[in-house]
Each structure stands twice: as C-alpha cells, then as structure tokens.
Amino acid sequence: MAFDRDGHLVWDFKCDDAVSSTCVTDSEGNIYFTTYGSKLYSVDLDGNLRWIFRYEAEFSITPVISDEWKIYISSNDEFMMILDRFGNLLEKFKIGTCGPYSFPVFDQLGNLYFKTNMIDDIQLISLNNQGTINWLFSPKRGDIITSPALNDAGFLFVGATFFQLICVDSAGKEVWTTAVEGFMSQPPIVDINSNVYTVSYKESRGRGYSYLQSFSKEGKENWRIKLEGVLTLPVLSSDGEIVLLLNNTSGWIEKTQVITVTQK
C-alpha cells in the first residue's frame, strides 16, 4: 500500500503471497520486494506491476540496487543472483547463507557488503561490482550477528556476539571493537557526523531492558539510554532526531510507544 504524507491511502497492490522483505526503491521510484512464494516483485510508482522474477528457493535478503541498476538478491539455497532492471537474470553464484533479516549496503565504488555464513562461522563479506569476493571478515571471537552500517569514509560497523560493536575498514581489517550493553539484533545506524547508534537488549531479574547507545567514529561511547521493553531499529530524521518504537508488556497489558531522542 502507498500513503500520502497525510496518511491517506493512494493505492494498494495485491500479490499472490505474503511479503517477506522490506520494500526498497530505485531512483525512479520503482518498488521491489520479495514474497514467501519465492518471487521478487517490481511495482511502479503508481502501483502497477512491472515484472515478477520467480525462483525455486526462498529469498534470504532484502533486494538491493546498485547505481548501475543491477539488482542483487540471495536465496536459501546459498546463491546470490544479479538481475537487470527488467528482471532478467544476469549472473548466479554460490555465496553461502545470508539471512534471515540481512540488509546489504553498497559503497561509493559499487562494492557490496553483507553478512554470510559461507564457511563455518557468520562473517562479513565484500563483493565487487562483478560479483567477485574482495574479502571475508571474521571477528577475533564470536560471529557477526547484524547487517553492516557504512559511513561516508568507507568504514563499516557491525554487531557481533559477546556484546560487541566492531568497526572494519574498506580492506576488511578490524579498526576497533567496543562493548555494547546487550545483545544486538538490529543493525547499527550512522549519522552524517559518523556517530554510530546501536540498540541492544538484556534481561535482568526477570525484566527485559533495551539500551540505545551512541558511539563516536573512534568507538568511544557518547551516551546511553536505558528503557524497559523492546526497542525497534532506530531511524534518523532529517533534523537529526532518533525515532524508535518501544514495545512493553506489563502483566496482561501490552503497549507500544513512539520514542524520540533529540541530541544537543
């Protein structure tokens, strides 16, 4: 469904199966998403079907589109596929298990970064714009557990097991590791000043707490906020505010709040 800025329905589009990914758009406003029926849909800005790409296995990552209009999508049979803008398959190659909930990112040179289980552990992988592996990064201990965030200088930030936030450079080398307060299930986000924001979760004495933390690009903690309940992935507004949803259950009552954090 598409809504205008006032929340009014503009159009809706019906597909055969339940949607399994986040919707992404290209520079012309065309929309791409996957379904549990192993289909990748492309819909135009007016809600009209452009094409459907069908595959024999479920897709495992949100589709991502390069500046060259190549569409990258991976599947549960461990293949990465590259499609053209019309939904035609260009390339297909083995890449390991990427999902679920994996969100790849491109840098300014067209290199693609995402988490994958290619060997025995979950790693961060870099592919060039031809689909060739540049490097694989494994933490000194544990596994990568979130998708990466990328700043304008080309540094990557990922969450790992053992309550770690790790910074990796464009050559696949670790720059620093710092501790977060809890388990990170959401990818970090980065603002225009390269501050990194993480959401993590930890239980204590039967209660669950979420932590929103801010780190400098050098890995130094700027501040933290502790809230009872589960925080969603943070979103940065155009004026620099951090917006999240907080889900909290008290007895039989469950409530959801919108949390806005303003930075001074």
In order, the DSSP letters of 33-72 are EEETTTEEEEE-TTS-EEEEEE-SS-B-B--EE-TTS-EE
Q: Give the model confidence (pLDDT) of 214-233 as tens digits.
A: 999 999 999 999 999 998 88
Domain-embedded: residue 251? no
Cα–Cα separations (whole angstroms), residue 23 to 31, 45, 67, 103, 238: 6, 12, 17, 11, 20
Burial category of 148 from C-beta neighbours within 10 Å (exposed 0-12, middle 13-18, buried 19 and up):
buried
Domain-embedded: residue 28? yes
Domain-embedded: residue 14? yes
Domain-embedded: residue 93? yes
Please give the angle made by the CA atoms of 85, 87 and 88, to the nearest 5 degrees: 105
How many domains does the chain fold into?
A: 1
Closest alpha carbon to 113 in 38, 166, 77:
166
Domain-embedded: residue 13? yes
- Enumerate the β-bridge partners of residue 177: 166
Domain-embedded: residue 208? no
CATH of residue 8: 2.40.128.630
Domain-embedded: residue 173? no
CA distance 47 to 23: 13
Residues of the chain above pLDDT 90, percent = 51
pLDDT along the chain (264 residues), means of 10: 87 88 89 92 95 90 86 86 94 74 84 79 85 90 92 95 96 97 92 94 89 96 93 85 83 74 77
Domain enclosing residue 62, as ranges = 1-97
The whole-chain average pLDDT of the chain stands at 89
Domain-embedded: residue 233? no
What strands lie across the sheet with 207-215, from one edge to the other? 189-190, 196-204, 207-215, 221-228
